[in-house]
Amino acid sequence: MSKSVTQLNPKAKQTKKKFNYLSILIIVQFLLTITLIILGIVTIIKNDFLYIFELILGITLIIMGINNHIIYKRKNLTILYFIIGIGSFILAILKMIGL
């Protein structure tokens, strides 16, 4: 019969699998990318969803910039993703307002 690690060494702590925020960021990026693909197809057919498409595009690019900076440690594309994402987000909001 095998003994567990904590029975052999009582000082050893049992590690629990944690669902950390890095996994959440990757899942959010994946879901936003799938949403962009679906909205891109719908926008080709009907132009009413263009503003929503631009908003989600901006949010996706900002999340991609965060992932590049935190997870992948890339700095060059991070700035580009942030600039294009914030620009897309602001332009979509300005178009919604009517300016």
Q: Is the pTM of this model over 0.75?
A: no
Beta-carbon neighbour count of residue 68 at 10 Å?
19
Statement: residue 48 has pLDDT above 80: yes
Average pLDDT over residues 26-42: 93
Query: According to DSSP H, which parts of 1-99 are helical?
Result: 5-8, 21-45, 50-70, 76-97
Q: Averaged over 69-77, what is the pLDDT?
A: 80
Domain boundaries defined on the chain:
48-99
Band (47; pLDDT cuts 50, 70, 90): confident
pLDDT at 72: 76
Provide mean pLDDT across the span 59-68: 90
- pLDDT (mean) for 76-91: 90
